[in-house]
Amino acid sequence: MFNQKKFTVSHAPFWHNGSSVSVRYYNIILAALPAVLFGFFTYGMPAVGVVCLSVSSAVAWELAFNKISKRPFSIGDGNAAMIGLLFAMLLPATSPWWLVITGTFVAVIIGKQIYGGIGGNPFNPVLVGLAILTLSWKDYFDFNEVLVNYDLGYSMAYPLASLKHFGVFAISDFKPAALLMGQQSGGIGAIFGLGLILGGIYLIIRGCIRWEISISFLAGVSITAVLFNMADPAHYAGPAFHILTGYTLIGAFFLATEDSSSPVNFIPMLIYGASAGMLTVLIRNIGAYADGVVFAILIANLVNPLVDKIRPKALGKVV
Amino acid sequence: MIKRSFVALTKPRLSYRAIEQTPPEPKIMPVPKHATLLLNGLYDPFGQKKSVLLKKGDPVKTGQKLSLYEDSDAYVVSSVTGTISAVSSFSGDFGKSYAAISIDVAENEEIDEQFSALVTEPTLETVKNCLAFIPGNLPSVIFSPDQSSTPIDTIVICGVDRDLLITANQHTVVKESKAIKRGVQILRQVTGIDNIIMASPEHLMQDAGLSGAEVRIVNPGYPSSLPHLIMRDALGQVVPAGKSCEDLGVVFMSAEAVASLGKSFNEGRIPFQKRFNVIKKDGSSTLVSARIGTPVSDIFAAFDIDVNEKDRIIFGGPMTGTSIYSENHPIQPDTDAVMIQDYKDLALVSDYPCINCGECIPVCPTRIQVNMLVRLLEVGNYQEAADEYDLYSCIECGLCSFVCVSRMPILQYIKLAKYELDRISTVEEANV
């Protein structure tokens, strides 16, 4: 009995479909790359610097918190790197180093780690970081101001700011095809609509994000934009403009779909996505900010636990 | 192992293995040199007031009833002839305890005559006293009905296999239709239950029809052959959460058990050849027929399977089986498959938290909020999990653990929670 072989003993099931947390997040990083690379070509070395600093500092903050809280190192799962990358994609290429590092601190530590780490955060960490920076240093997020030195051969006016201040007349120069191909000013990784759409489709096909959220978010933006546009075409832009400018596409495919802060049931996903989309256009059209995606998704995150209570009845449930 | 496909929009479908049109005969294993029989109940010879009946050196015959203590109802039927070499205690899953009776097998087989004397007139008493240990495992509830619960009025014979890669039950349906027919007659006669239903996959409808039981079709996608889902889909009854099928008066038994029952009375001797699939390290599956009590090491030796340190040996299928810790573990009446996985290919669980990816929600056949449930189970809030998040609706198919991105042992948490709650309520009842 004593020289018996020792076997692995564990609980059923003994098969797994092979998915893993790190594969999921590395796939999201991969899907974001086309838009990021386009940002590099458009804005040059400053953009490369911001993205590198953001990713590395996000990972460093995560590692530091792991050390301090004496928890196992979780930087290998790719979540911190993903937060850093998505955060950099929203920033202007000219962001100073301290802004980036502060932002990733807020995103990783305050947005995620203090809630117990991955899976515990009630809000999207990237958006928590960005929202706090926007409120604290408003001027660094005024794209018209910070990108003033760039001349790329097309109008460098921030489309949403033009719409906000001068109405539909001012945005007649922005053609949807040009916007789709990234001929606009904005965040490093948020301007290249085509790349974001391709990345999003890749993620939906691979099952890394929940398509219901992306589709309902875009539907929410479009429908609300159409309604405003019908009510007053001189004041409010149409759906194509709203979808192709600002953070709408990166929001639909990369931000609203963040795992922990979004619902998992079918109807709640539709409600969550649609309400975030609707709020986006409401903030843009009648709110105080030029772009509403950040706050719209944060507010939708807030109601996520509530809407996710709408769930199908379990088999054999007796009430 | 079935991996997630590159395109994950359409969720991978796990299907039961369908048996071939003309299935090959199972590979017959020789009678083992040593056999072990597991008898339900704690082995505690010194704490007993009753005298212990079995001891080392006692001769046993094939078909002989073995009880551990005087006047005890629990028994096993010896599947071999020989002498008892040891009686020891043995513990299984979730603290279940057995007495393991090891037998050194003699060369000449002798058949005990007790059963053949009773075979002319099948009665419930005979079935209860002699046949509780036949291959396929008859559920005890049919011959010792619990007075407090609903009387059993329906028997469902599973012509489908419980788990993936297994074909043992289907093979019985194809090859043993006469024995099944006889078994159904005997069941009607001894239990007085008329409503006997055969749940069968579509491709075995013809064969299942020969049994004389009413045939209902079961869909080929996992987990539709689990009893609760057969109840819902084939019988149109939903089992309320926390209740069992028996509570609704329905009992499930495998086609093999019914065939063994028929064979016992046809041939006048108790069958001991258990049919099961051997699932090798490469995932290929072969049907084998071996004596109950054969140690698995004999089976691996017969198939030239290298058994290494840290491998995983599983009794039952990949989704619902039980891993065992010893190569000497015997084939039991309810062993439908013996599976071995190489230590290099093990899908191990992790201690990562739930990331709320939502993969488990669409795969759950009972629509449980697994993402919320597992958060409560992880911290031991079992009662809240049962009250708020449908712990008792779970039918233990294991699909949530199969797809879990964080590789959490979700099914294990669920079973542990049920076990703990059950323990608490048992203690509370005892204290009232």
pLDDT band for position B142 (cuts 50, 70, 90): confident
Q: Three-state SS across chain A?
A: CCCCCCCCCCCCCCCCCCCCHHHHHHHHHHHHHHHHHHHHHHHCHHHHHHHHHHHHHHHHHHHHHHHHCCCCCCHHHCHHHHHHHHHHHHCCCCCCHHHHHHHHHHHHHHCCHHHCCCCCCCCCHHHHHHHHHHHHCHHHHCHHHHCCCCCCCCCCCCHHHHHHHHCHHHHCCCCHHHHHCCCCCCCCCCCCHHHHHHHHHHHHHHCCCCHHHHHHHHHHHHHHHHHHHHHCCCCCCCHHHHHHCCCHHHHHHHHCCCCCCCCCCHHHHHHHHHHHHHHHHHHHHHCCCCCCHHHHHHHHHHHHHHHCCCCCCCCCCCC
Nearest to A7 among B12, B313, B369 (CB): B313
What is the sign, positive or negative, of the torsion defined by CA atoms of A77, A82, A83, A88? positive
Alpha-carbon gap: B286 to the closest alpha carbon of chain A (Å): 19
Task: Report whether pLDDT(B147) > 80.
Answer: no
CA proximity to B119, closest of B16, B13, B261? B261
**pLDDT one-digit tens code per residue, B393-410:** 999 999 999 999 999 999
User: Which residues, in sequence order, are CB contacts of B25 under 8 Å at separation 6+?
Assistant: none
B318 CB within 8 Å of a chain A CB:
yes
Strand order, beta sheet including B34-40? B34-40, B97-105, B82-91, B59-60
- Mean pLDDT for B283-310 is 93
Nearest to B240 among A4, A118, A318 (CB): A318
- Which residues between 345 and 404 in chain B have a beta carbon less than 8 angstroms from any beta carbon of chain A? 346-349, 352-359, 361, 365-369, 371, 390, 392-393, 395, 398-399, 401-404
Lowest-confidence pick of A257-271, B44-58, B325-339, B348-362: B44-58
pLDDT score recorded for residue B138: 86
pTM of the model as a whole: 0.92
Nearest to B323 among A10, A259, A311 (CB): A10
Integer Cα distance of B241 and A155 in angstroms: 63
Cβ B254 vs Cβ B272: under 8 Å: no
Integer Cα distance of B292 and A22 in angstroms: 45
- Which residues between 176 and 235 in chain B have a beta carbon less than 8 angstroms from any beta carbon of chain A? 228, 232
What six digits make up the tokens of B48?
A: 């007993």
Distances (CA, A) of B55 to B65, B69, B85, B102: 14, 11, 8, 10
pLDDT score recorded for residue B347: 85
Nearest to A119 among B327, B353, B366 (CB): B353
Domains and CATH numbers, chain B: 32-108 (no CATH), 117-267 (3.40.50.11540), 360-431 (no CATH)
Cβ of B321 and A12 within 8 Å? yes
Every domain of chain A and the residues it spans: 21-140, 158-307
**pLDDT one-digit tens code per residue, A277-309:** 999 999 999 998 999 999 999 999 999 999 999
Cβ A119 vs Cβ B355: under 8 Å: yes
Integer Cα distance of B388 and B368 in angstroms: 10
Q: Which residues of B touch A9 (CB under 8 A)?
A: 312, 323-325
In this structure, are strands B195-201 and B154-158 parallel, antiparallel, or unpaired? parallel
- Mean pLDDT for B401-425 is 94
What average pLDDT is seen over chain B?
A: 89
Phi, psi of B197 (to 5 degrees): -120, 140
B9 CB within 8 Å of a chain A CB:
yes
Q: Which residues of A touch B250 (CB under 8 A)?
A: none
Cβ B57 vs Cβ B80: under 8 Å: no
- Mean pLDDT for B387-396 is 93
Chain A interface test: which of B356, B402, B412 (most A C-beta within 10 Å): B356
Cβ of B323 and A7 within 8 Å? yes
pLDDT score recorded for residue A172: 86
- Mean pLDDT for A254-275 is 96
- Mean pLDDT for B87-91 is 88
- Mean pLDDT for B184-208 is 91
For the CA atoms of A191, A195, A197, A198, the dihedral, rounded to the nearest 10 degrees, stands at -170
Task: Report whether pLDDT(A54) > 70.
Answer: yes
B316 CB within 8 Å of a chain A CB:
yes
**pLDDT one-digit tens code per residue, A181-228:** 999 999 999 999 999 999 999 999 999 999 999 999 999 999 999 999
pLDDT score recorded for residue B341: 94
> ipTM for the complex?
0.92
- Mean pLDDT for A43-49 is 95
Integer Cα distance of A313 and A290 in angstroms: 42
Give the Cα-Cα-Cα angle A109, A110, A116 (nearest 5 degrees). 70
Task: Report whether pLDDT(B12) > 90.
Answer: no
Phi, psi of A116 (to 5 degrees): 105, 10
Task: Report whether pLDDT(A75) > 60.
Answer: yes
Cβ A274 vs Cβ A207: under 8 Å: no
**pLDDT one-digit tens code per residue, A135-151:** 999 999 999 999 988 98
Integer Cα distance of A132 and A99 in angstroms: 11
pLDDT score recorded for residue B112: 86
**pLDDT one-digit tens code per residue, A83-94:** 999 999 999 999
DSSP reduced 3-state for B109: coil
Alpha-carbon gap: B377 to the closest alpha carbon of chain A (Å): 15
pLDDT score recorded for residue B8: 66
- Mean pLDDT for B40-56 is 80
pLDDT band for position B60 (cuts 50, 70, 90): very high
pLDDT score recorded for residue B10: 59
pLDDT score recorded for residue B251: 92
Cβ of A210 and B358 within 8 Å? yes
Cβ of A11 and B404 within 8 Å? no
Chain A interface test: which of B355, B401, B410 (most A C-beta within 10 Å): B355
pLDDT score recorded for residue B113: 84
Q: Which residues of B74-83 are buried (b: 16+ CB within 10 A; e: fewer)?
A: ebbbbbbbbe
CA proximity to B115, closest of B102, B128, B105? B128
Cβ of B312 and A8 within 8 Å? yes
Task: Report whether pLDDT(B157) > 90.
Answer: yes
Lowest-confidence pick of A245-259, B23-37, B120-134, B191-205: B120-134
DSSP reduced 3-state for B1: coil
Q: Nearest residue of B to residue A14 by CA position?
A: B318
Number of C-beta neighbours around residue A142 at 10 A: 14
DSSP reduced 3-state for B431: helix
Please tell me what DSSP assigns to residue B111.
B
Cα distance from N-terminal residue to C-terminal residue, chain B: 49
What six digits make up the tokens of B206?
A: 């013809």
- Mean pLDDT for B86-107 is 88
Task: Report whether pLDDT(B304) > 70.
Answer: yes
Rg, chain A, Cα only: 21
Amino acid at A264: V
Integer Cα distance of B225 and B242 in angstroms: 19
Cα distance from N-terminal residue to C-terminal residue, chain A: 52
CA proximity to A21, closest of B12, B349, B370? B349
- Mean pLDDT for B24-50 is 86
Question: What percent of chain B is predicted at pLDDT more than 70?
Answer: 97
**pLDDT one-digit tens code per residue, B365-380:** 999 999 999 999 999 9
Cβ of B320 and A119 within 8 Å? no
Indicate the length of chain A as a whole number. Answer: 319
pLDDT score recorded for residue B148: 64
pLDDT band for position B146 (cuts 50, 70, 90): low
Residue with structure tokens 């059963």? B115
DSSP reduced 3-state for B347: coil
Q: Which residues of B touch A262 (CB under 8 A)?
A: 356
Cβ of B393 and A4 within 8 Å? no
pLDDT band for position A169 (cuts 50, 70, 90): confident
What average pLDDT is seen over chain A?
A: 94
- Mean pLDDT for B243-254 is 90
pLDDT band for position B348 (cuts 50, 70, 90): confident
pLDDT score recorded for residue B81: 94
Number of C-beta neighbours around residue B340 at 10 A: 21
Give the Cα-Cα-Cα angle B202, B205, B208 (nearest 5 degrees). 130
Residue with structure tokens 């309400």? A275
Beta carbon pairs, A and B, within 8 Å:
184
Indicate the length of chain B as a whole number. Answer: 432
Beta pairing partners, B282: none
Task: Report whether pLDDT(B86) > 60.
Answer: yes
**pLDDT one-digit tens code per residue, B62-80:** 989 888 888 788 889 999 9
Cβ B385 vs Cβ A1: under 8 Å: no
- Mean pLDDT for B110-116 is 86
Question: What percent of chain A is predicted at pLDDT more than 90?
Answer: 86
Integer Cα distance of B170 and B142 in angstroms: 23
Alpha-carbon gap: A66 to the closest alpha carbon of chain B (Å): 14
The better pLDDT of the pair B385, B49 is held by B385
Q: Which residues of A touch B343 (CB under 8 A)?
A: 8
